[in-house]
Structure 1
Amino acid sequence: SESAAELYTAVDKLIPNLKKEEYEIDEKHKSVALTDDGMEHIEQLLDQNNLLGGGGLYDIQNVALVHHVNQALRAHKLFHLDKDYIIKDGKVVLIDEFTGRMMDGRRLSEGLHQAIEAKERVDIQNENQTLASITFQNYFRMYPKLAGMTGTGMTEAAEFAQIYKLGVISIPTHVSVARIDNQDKIYKSLSEKEDAIVDLIKECYGRKQPVLVGTVSIEKSEVLSERLKKEKIPHNVLNARHHEREAYIVGQAGRPGAVTIATNMAGRGTDIKLGGNAEMRIAEELGENPDQKAIDKIHEEIERDKKTVMEAGGLYIIGTERHESRRIDNQLRGRSGRQGDPGASMFFLSVEDDLMRIFAGDKLEALLGNARIGLQEGEALEHPLISKMLERAQAKVEGMHFEIRKNLLKFDDVMNDQRKVIYEQRREIMEAQSVEDLVRDMRHEVIEDTIRATIPHGSYAEQWDTDALHTECQRLLGLDLPIDEWAKEEGIADAELLERITEESDKKIAAKVADTGSDLWRRMEKSIVLQLLDQQWKEHLLQLDHLRQGINLRAFGQKDPLNEYKTEAFAAFELMIDQMRESITQTLSLVEIRAADTPFPPRRQQEEFHESRDDPALEGEGSIMQDMQNSKNVRQMPLRNRSDAPFDKNDPETWGKTQRNAPCPCGSGKKFKHCHGQLAGHG
């Protein structure tokens, strides 16, 4: 809304006033927090700008303001233009840190994206709400078989084994690798490192050896580009901002003297051929229906160029710094020396690099500043032990990220059970010709719960809360019943009262069906059930998201956050099921059908839903959103089919159809409708 956008902008203007000592940045864990002095200062600034709603910043009425301040602080101190995001067409577009590509359509949650938009003075978009979510791990587990192929999987072998129970096998190359991987060169400062990189590029350019320079961000690729322009070295820049001719630029990166500066996106899916790519040159230079002589000429040039490049030493890969993941470094190296071609690679590092500064800075600085080593200005340190130390730093970062993913998966496993129940129920509703039985059972259960809440079991009529029962019948069923008169009848019991209310409710619905027409009512009934199911699930996801954010604080009370989350999430799920039954019962009992001027369409058009790019379950073939529009596709989903699996009392997917009044297959001794059937809402 407009007021929310104004608040993001107003808070954003205050952050630059904070001094460096008024906040603490933890780059290792990517977090930032105000110090005590910072809290006092921001409180004064908010008060001066009439943003503080009375009291202190941390008083209950200012909770939303604290959230805005924290997100604005993160936007300014943790997210950087041309590294974490770019501005494209007046919008903030995120950059994937591993691939270097733009993530169009993906937005940060909890108001963080809006805080970045306020920082960059672009239009502030509305916050998104999650319609559905699933982790990649649980998404992949839905398939009965998993396999993959990658050139850099060995560094993640432990994670594949632990999460997916998959082994990683290294297949020897068909032709021996002729690439020479040089030791890393480490410099004391960033400027010394940049000078050394430019010198090596000039040297390679002089002998017509093609060079591919890998950078970690758009900003750094453009800084290096400016240096090369000053040296009058022709080159191509490939990053998320200049990606239109990506395939062609990478395809020609192997030509003699070619210099290509690229972020992590360098050439994924495109082979760098020494001498250049003939097909691409023909398409680019000759257009449609090219002359055979011209084609032959290009092939001859490429053969000649290939010979020149191979004599010069093949493609030279220069890494301007190490990435947090060894896998990304290996991918960059792997662009050279393919199919037995010659090549070389070298990484240039400095103590000021992000990875070095955060994870190995103190040790390296002490080592490079050691008087016995005696490094002069512009001199580099090269040693296998240093390279090993850097690899250990990278392994430490990878291990930390793995622990985060593993912990996230444990929490998502809790929600995954609930997700299966809801999606299965939704699929059944989509496939069913009519949801009449399901809706009737829900309504009867709501009436039963209402009776139970207002009439204590085995009590006398004088103890009944007839006013509350009368109010609830009006609110939920739209029925004005003589509850007081019934309660005064001789020998009346709660069971008889339940029977009368149920009978009146059934009569009312039957009258609605008769007035509306059975076909129209059934279609409308199904549509309402689906809409309310989606609405309740969406709100439940938001509630679980909030629960997840604060649950780790339970550890201070000597409680296991995961067990606490399981308990709270299950209670929230039960509450959601109850609320869904109530809302469906109430909506169908109170809905009024008026005759329209135009006939009702054969099939109601579904509202357009905004699909979140974060959620693979909402995209592509077999997606939930696709199911909503075409229920015939449900059986085409490539999901694990459990119908033929042996019966397992711990796995509801193996139970098949269970009657509502039958004993629950889990062995609890309860009726199915009061146990697992209550969760699934089976009809």
Structure 2
Amino acid sequence: MVRFGGLARKIFGSANDRRVKATRSRVEAINALENEMQALSDDALRGRTQQFREELANGKSLDDLLIPAFATVREASRRVLGMRPFDVQLIGGMVLHNGGIAEMRTGEGKTLVATLPVYLNALEGKGVHVVTVNDYLATRDSEWMGRVYGFLGLTTGVIMHGLSDEQRRAAYACDVTYATNNELGFDYLRDNMKYERAQMVQRGHHYAIVDEVDSILIDEARTPLIISGPLEDRSEMYNTVDALIVKLVPEDYEVDEKQRTAIFTEVGTEKVENMLRANDLLKGESLYDVENVAMVHHVNNALKAHRLFQRDKDYIVRNGEIVIIDEFTGRMMPGRRYSEGLHQALEAKEHVQIQPENQTLASITFQNYFRMYKKLAGMTGTASTEAEEFGNIYGLEVTEIPTNLPVQRKDEDDEVYRTVEEKYKAIVREIREASTKGQPILVGTTSIEKSEHLAERLRADGVKNFQVLNARYHEQEAYIVAQAGVPGAITIATNMAGRGTDIQLGGNADMRIRQELAEMPEGSEREAREQAIREDIQRLKEKALAAGGLYVLATERHESRRIDNQLRGRSGRQGDPGRSKFYLSIQDDLMRIFGSDRMDGMLQKLGLKEDEAIIHPWINKALEKAQTKVEARNFDIRKNLLKYDDVMNDQRKVVFEQRLTLMDGQDLSETVAEMRQDVIDDLVAKHIPETAYAEQWDVAGLKEDVGQYLNLDLPIADWAKEEGIDEEAINARITEAANKAAQDRADRFGPEVMAYVERSILLQTLDHLWREHLVNLDHLRSVVGFRGYAQRDPLNEYKSEAFELFQALLGNLRQAVTAQLMRVELVREAADAPPPEAPEAFGQHIDPTTGEDDFNEGAFGDTAVLTRVSTERVVPPEQRDPKNPSTWGKVGRNEACPCGSGKKFKHCHGAFG
């Protein structure tokens, strides 16, 4: 019996088929313009860019221009690069323009596809960002595709680590900007730590295309971007704690590899307490007393460092430093640091110099950064397994683009052995056999340790002609991967090292020419050599084809099906033949942790002998189920992270928008006066409650607070003795005295200096309190989970308390700014001094589940304060949309809020608090 859903798909096609079919008419229209485009001169083709911009200015939409613009780019690409986009690449370009994800197989030309929507959207002049996974690809693609944009009259910039603010500003000002996800996120955070508009480098978030979108928006989405500054040195304490942990025995702790956790048993806890007490590190009776919170954190980190993190798998020691290995790519990540003391625990474990910890200064997740773009798109070879997550979190629809030529790769069933030893024997035997017949082989491993173990086994077996590509040798990875299609070549790669580089059968001619003829000058001799290389590549390609194409041999299943599919996808590009096979053992991590405990016994009962493998589609299905469980768990982690970050994100938006308002405002005296009045109102209400009798007033306390926050010595005790005096009269007298003192200072300094001082103090105080607030939110986040034991929802508790903390921040801001401005003589001498400098800060990219730190950059530029005229226009009330603040224009602080709440603007949408 055929199910209705399956029957409907057979008759009408899947939703994906219908989306692809809907683009066909436009593809035919673009093809119809091809002869017309070819007849144009270079200047005439280039002139179409200005023509398109004029049409946009006259009211046409980008969709109206899609067909002629795509036809223009196709012809420019043919003339400049010698590459004519296929029809399926046009379809991919349309998916990207419409703000979706184009899933295109490896070798289908995603880099070229991006030029079509990039050119079209860049015509608006608002900037298009193309996001890549590393600096190499950002540079390569900007230079390569930049030739097409340059031919058509557009400018191209590239953002890389180490550029100055001036260079970044120039790159962002280009029509098209290539950058890594890390650089974009950190530039956004840095911009919101600047003290003047002119220092900011980004100019908005209009349209972005994310290359390898699954890697950036899924794999790296668990890791928020953080800018942090160093704290005090506590290396002695780390070494002391580490010395205690090595004395523990297995009965003292429990390790759960599946959940990546390590905890002390009751016996272990008692032993640790005794050792800490002996070293005078324990306060009170128990390790879990409130005063020992920090110590619990450190001993737990030390236990994780020794029992969960393995040298040469999770990290390596190089030049006296702990260097992290990326769990997804297997690459070494110099400069990355685990967070919250875990890296220091590893440094203590390996007895290398311990670097100081860092304090959060600014933070954002990739989810919330990329959701700022008005239009977002992505491309990858593997996205359909995560289609639900792309839809739920980013609102992105995944469309599978047909291949230009039918896929001829043969994906064989997995071979499962009982032991790792038997598996490796079979792998070495298979590699030797395939290599002997001239078939190129790409061997996929999951860690450095395993890639080098396999390399040793091959050497011992007499196989010498192989390349090991892992985190230790990533500098040459693009070249090594590009040549992995040479007949008989054996390339051992850690996970997806070299991703973004096409493996061509016979080798990559352009790569070989660059490598072999780097020193040879232009001329007839070089041309002859180039021709010889291309002929050699063609000969080798024929040989590789005859041997069956690229053989992808995987030594283990990864936790994610996508990573397995990425590896498989390296073979069978552009209709080439190929094959793929996974070799597994019951002792592999995935099988051992997530597979059935009874599988080994079952295989023995079935009579599986040594060196025999079981091969059956059922095994593949069982493994896919295990991988699905892991993927679901990781999705939950990312969703949970986003729910908590959304709370902070709402507050972040308020603070960052307020900073922009402060930087743009010419005269902040009204804002400052209102803050001062709010402080006075709070002080009077605190010490003279409305319903209290005069003898219950806290006159002494009010006088003390007025002195502290307003720098005034007023005869409040005498006022309180007057007949008929009430709190409103006292409030009015304090306000009059405070306003007079503030006006006297403003008159002495002059309007320009006073404006500088007010803006400077407001921005610096806001930044300082925001940093403290981030620390408070981190602490709240780390403990709020325990509320679940009291049958209370941790997320709701977090939202409620985070709101209270934010309200406290706003109250503290009013008090701190007022107190400083009422003592403005202290600042007067510094008014002509250099602008304030930002704190020493470093970029970090932290994984909340492992504590992994994905980035670390040096201190960045200083900051300054700038006075600018406000460009906000006044909008008549009837033209304001209550639901859209962008239509309100400049709203007076004491006006009724346009949202319709009935409150004054300063107490509603225009509030600091």
Q: Do they fold alike, i.e. is TM over 0.5?
A: yes
Match of 1:99 in 2: 329
Corresponding position: 1:263 with 2:494: yes
Alpha-carbon offset, residue 530 of structure 1: 1.0
CA distance, structure 2, for counterparts of residue 225 and residue 202 of structure 1: 13
CA distance, structure 2, for counterparts of residue 497 and residue 163 of structure 1: 54
Corresponding position: 1:551 with 2:784: yes
Identity among equivalent positions (%) equals 54
CA shift in 2, pair 1:522/1:609, >3 Å? farther
Match of 1:433 in 2: 666
Alpha-carbon offset, residue 249 of structure 1: 0.8
**CA displacement 1:255-278 (0-9 Å, x = unmatched):** 122111111242211111111111
Tell me if the contact between 1:217 and 1:263 (Cα under 8 Å) persists in the aligned partners.
Answer: yes
Q: Which of 224-233 and 344-353 deviates more?
A: 224-233
CA distance, structure 2, for counterparts of residue 566 and residue 2 of structure 1: 31
In the TM superposition, 1:75-474 aligns within 5 A as 75-232=305-462, 233-288=464-519, 289=521, 291-369=526-604, 371=605, 373-474=606-707
Tell me if the contact between 2:478 and 2:498 (Cα under 8 Å) persists in the aligned partners.
Answer: yes
Q: How many equivalent residue pairs?
A: 662
Match of 1:11 in 2: 241
Match of 1:640 in 2: none
Alpha-carbon offset, residue 84 of structure 1: 2.1
CA shift in 2, pair 1:652/1:102, >3 Å? farther
CA shift in 2, pair 1:324/1:126, >3 Å? same
Tell me if the contact between 2:444 and 2:494 (Cα under 8 Å) persists in the aligned partners.
Answer: yes
Corresponding position: 1:530 with 2:760: no
- Name the amino acid aligned to 1:349: L
CA distance, structure 2, for counterparts of residue 644 and residue 158 of structure 1: 42
Alpha-carbon offset, residue 605 of structure 1: 5.2
SS in 2 for 1:520: helix
CA shift in 2, pair 1:560/1:272, >3 Å? same
Match of 1:639 in 2: none
Corresponding position: 1:503 with 2:733: no
CA shift in 2, pair 1:189/1:615, >3 Å? closer
CA distance, structure 1, for counterparts of residue 441 and residue 334 of structure 2: 30
Tell me if the contact between 1:516 and 1:593 (Cα under 8 Å) persists in the aligned partners.
Answer: no
**CA displacement 1:23-45 (0-9 Å, x = unmatched):** 11122221111111111222232
Tell me if the contact between 2:496 and 2:563 (Cα under 8 Å) persists in the aligned partners.
Answer: no
Q: Which runs of 5+ in 1 are unaligned?
A: 636-642
Alpha-carbon offset, residue 493 of structure 1: 2.1
CA distance, structure 2, for counterparts of residue 366 and residue 645 of structure 1: 76
CA shift in 2, pair 1:432/1:594, >3 Å? closer
Alpha-carbon offset, residue 62 of structure 1: 2.6
CA distance, structure 2, for counterparts of residue 109 and residue 270 of structure 1: 32
Tell me if the contact between 1:540 and 1:573 (Cα under 8 Å) persists in the aligned partners.
Answer: yes
SS in 2 for 1:316: strand
SS in 1 for 2:310: coil
Tell me if the contact between 1:105 and 1:612 (Cα under 8 Å) persists in the aligned partners.
Answer: no
SS in 2 for 1:169: strand
**CA displacement 1:34-59 (0-9 Å, x = unmatched):** 11111122223223434334533223
CA shift in 2, pair 1:660/1:366, >3 Å? farther
CA distance, structure 2, for counterparts of residue 634 and residue 552 of structure 1: 47
CA shift in 2, pair 1:456/1:558, >3 Å? same
Which residue, out of 881, 892, 895, partners 1:647?
Answer: 881
Q: Which of 378-387 and 18-27 deviates more?
A: 18-27
CA shift in 2, pair 1:654/1:409, >3 Å? farther
CA distance, structure 2, for counterparts of residue 322 and residue 512 of structure 1: 71
Tell me if the contact between 1:627 and 1:634 (Cα under 8 Å) persists in the aligned partners.
Answer: no
SS in 2 for 1:377: coil
Tell me if the contact between 1:105 and 1:613 (Cα under 8 Å) persists in the aligned partners.
Answer: no
**CA displacement 1:524-580 (0-9 Å, x = unmatched):** 321221111111111111111111122222122121222211111111110111011
Alpha-carbon offset, residue 632 of structure 1: 11
**CA displacement 1:72-115 (0-9 Å, x = unmatched):** 11122222222222334433233322222344444332211211
CA distance, structure 2, for counterparts of residue 132 and residue 506 of structure 1: 35
CA distance, structure 1, for counterparts of residue 861 and residue 645 of structure 2: 23
CA shift in 2, pair 1:456/1:54, >3 Å? closer
CA distance, structure 2, for counterparts of residue 630 and residue 448 of structure 1: 30
CA distance, structure 2, for counterparts of residue 441 and residue 209 of structure 1: 77
Match of 2:206 in 1: none
Q: Which of 218-227 and 511-520 deviates more?
A: 511-520
Tell me if the contact between 1:185 and 1:382 (Cα under 8 Å) persists in the aligned partners.
Answer: yes
**CA displacement 1:348-386 (0-9 Å, x = unmatched):** 1111111111110414323323x2x21111111110000
- Name the amino acid aligned to 2:699: T
CA distance, structure 2, for counterparts of residue 529 and residue 630 of structure 1: 11
Tell me if the contact between 2:233 and 2:357 (Cα under 8 Å) persists in the aligned partners.
Answer: no
SS in 2 for 1:260: strand
SS in 2 for 1:201: helix
Match of 2:844 in 1: 613
- Name the amino acid aligned to 1:127: E
CA distance, structure 2, for counterparts of residue 256 and residue 645 of structure 1: 70
Match of 1:638 in 2: none
CA distance, structure 1, for counterparts of residue 893 and residue 667 of structure 2: 18
In the TM superposition, 1:661-680 aligns within 5 A as 661-665=894-898, 667-678=900-911, 680=912
Tell me if the contact between 1:427 and 1:634 (Cα under 8 Å) persists in the aligned partners.
Answer: no
Point out the structure with the larger strand share. Answer: 2
**CA displacement 1:480-518 (0-9 Å, x = unmatched):** 111111211222222221122122222222333344443
Alpha-carbon offset, residue 244 of structure 1: 1.2
Q: Which of 186-195 and 42-51 deviates more?
A: 42-51
Alpha-carbon offset, residue 676 of structure 1: 4.4
CA shift in 2, pair 1:160/1:474, >3 Å? same
Alpha-carbon offset, residue 665 of structure 1: 4.7
Q: Which runs of 5+ in 2 are unaligned?
A: 1-230, 848-853, 871-876
- Name the amino acid aligned to 1:17: K
Alpha-carbon offset, residue 208 of structure 1: 1.9
